[in-house]
Structure 1
């Protein structure tokens, strides 16, 4: 492995000069910095930040990410990517420690703290309420895509209520009057808040209350119940609803398969509104799915900046979830 001494020899400079080129390039002349940089590139030298930390030298500050399902599923990967990119832009580094069960976090927290992060971001896949491990008490901490009742701590989450409210308002202005709503389980924060947003928009519009609403049971195995619910609202093969409001894009995915297999057209016979703009899937529906964008990129960025800028507030910040209108609605 290439050492600092190898770089110094190739650039014909001292070890101190190479160190300055890495940590304080402004102290060097442009020509000297160019020579050191060229030597680093030619030798593929990678600074050993762990060794520098042991020696008490200036390694980049780091953000430790405690990830509950965030890194092990495809649905919220944008959050982690945005967090890391923001940290890099500010000269920070990040590392992820996966948490597989928020009720048994001791080992994961010990591992995370062993790296001595300057701050910690606790993230989850899907908005949920979490328990903060006791060992994180007093540490610079921010929550991303989750909230807690344990103690006052800042969090950055999607504004699911207003996301659904604004999307529903748009559907009403497009003329839909007979929606069928299939929500996420009513034991989930997103399921409850999205239903509340829909109901307020519908009430404020003053249109006849023809909405049929239903929550799926909790558990991935119940997504297929979407087909059964839709089947119960077909009369002689025709839907008794003009708009299907889906709790997320996975529900919409099942709905597409069932409706198209039944010979129904989207949106001519039934319009479909999703939620999440699921990573890697949201744009692959045919016809393209109208959906609400979860602000995972914004959540990751703001959570990183909360640590980097040493923000002191302990508020719950709800970030905007915009509607993406596509071909599945008029």
Structure 2
């Protein structure tokens, strides 16, 4: 790989002149700048970012650091990171991602992130949750995406889970369903109670008593998706479901529900309607019939979080982003 010295030698200029051509081109005469840039192009030289920082650069111009807790390592919320990058590029910025896993030493990860000298940081998680924001992040403009903090005064952009479940339940009730089987995510999840509140709000507006529904919560841990068929079968007697619809905590639950119902010869939606949640990337249209679900607004969350940094917003509000209902053939 070519070095700064190689460029200086080919262009027959000093190292300082090459450095100025890269960092402050406006300080050079046009003909000198053109000469150095031609040498850079000929050698395919790539500036050494770490060396620039050692020489005293205070921040990487127009860079957003993304601290990603399980966000880009799962298929469920990758749209957040995609939206941040696309929004940054559209505004002449760029982003970089530092992944953090549950077992990582937080101080080590913070040092790695801050060593890149970002102009601002977006802390994002897979699955809405409360986070303990490392103190070092508070030294920079920082915003939370798909997560909240109970102790740090930071802006948060999160899904409006109550509104999303309200919209889905409202559509279910207006279609005439009155006996749903409700299969929620684990009770301790932040989204679970907010979604149940949305369900109950829709019921009250339709003069329907939600206490007459069967409400079941999945246990925490991915292995407990295997419990879903048993929950469904326990509410089928002599081949007849004791429910006319299933409200699912997410599309993965809906996938298990589909397999169970269809395996029992129960048709969707002719016998039982199914409503999902998440619009898991690339999956909704692959259900047969296609799954009606609520869109988690991950792309919009990423976009708004990036704009928060780019525009220099200073508010510390929690912004709930609309979660639209996607009606397909299962409802």
- What is the TM-score when the length of structure 1 is the normalising length? 0.87
Please tell me whether residue 86 in structure 1 is matched to residue 74 in structure 2.
no
Contact 1:52 1:59 in 2 (8 A): no
Mind listing any 5+ residue stretches in structure 2 that lack a counterpart?
Answer: none
> Does the CA contact (< 8 Å) of 2:60 and 2:116 recur in 1?
no
* Structure 1 CA distance for aligned equivalents of residues 233 and 103 of structure 2: 38
Q: Which residue of the partner structure matches residue 132 of structure 2?
A: 131
Aligned to 1:321: 323
The answer for the alignment partner of 1:281 in structure 2 is 283
Q: Mean Cα displacement is larger for which, 102-111 or 169-178?
A: 102-111
**Structure 1: how far apart are the matches of 2:193 and 2:124?**
20
- Give the deviation of 1:51 after TM superposition: 3.5
Deviation at 1:25, TM superposition (A): 8.7
- Listed as ranges, the gaps of 5+ residues in structure 1 are none
**1:174–1:24 distance in 2 versus 1, CA, 3 Å:** farther
Alpha-carbon separation, structure 2, partners of 1:185 and 1:229? 14
- Select between 96-105 and 172-181 the one with higher mean Cα deviation: 96-105
Paired position in structure 1 for 2:110: 109
Indicate how the Cα distance of structure 1 residues 200 and 14 shifts in structure 2: closer, same or farther if over 3 A, else same.
same
Query: Which segment drifts farther, 199-208 or 229-238?
Result: 199-208
- Please give the secondary structure, in 2, of the residue aligned with 1:124: strand
Q: Secondary structure at 1:303's aligned position in 2?
A: helix
Partner of 1:202: 203
SS in 2 for 1:135: helix
Q: State the 1:46 CA deviation.
A: 3.8
Q: How many positions carry a matched residue from both structures?
A: 329
Give the deviation of 1:53 after TM superposition: 4.0
Query: The residue matched to 2:220 in structure 1 has which SS?
Result: coil
Q: What RMSD over aligned residues (CA atoms) do the two structures have, in Å? A: 3.1
Q: Is the contact made by 2:125 and 2:146 (CA closer than 8 Å) also made in structure 1?
A: yes
The corresponding residue for 1:244 is 246
The alignment partner of 1:218 has SS state of: coil
For 1:11-22, list aligned pairs within 5 A.
none
Which residue does 1:181 correspond to in 2? 182
The alpha carbon displacement at 1:253 in A equals 0.8
Answer with 91-100 or 265-274: which moved more. 91-100
State the TM-score, normalizing by the size of structure 2. Answer: 0.87
Report the CA distance shift for 1:92/1:318 in structure 2 as closer, same or farther (over 3 A). same
Query: Could you tell me how far 1:4 is from its partner in structure 2?
Result: 6.7
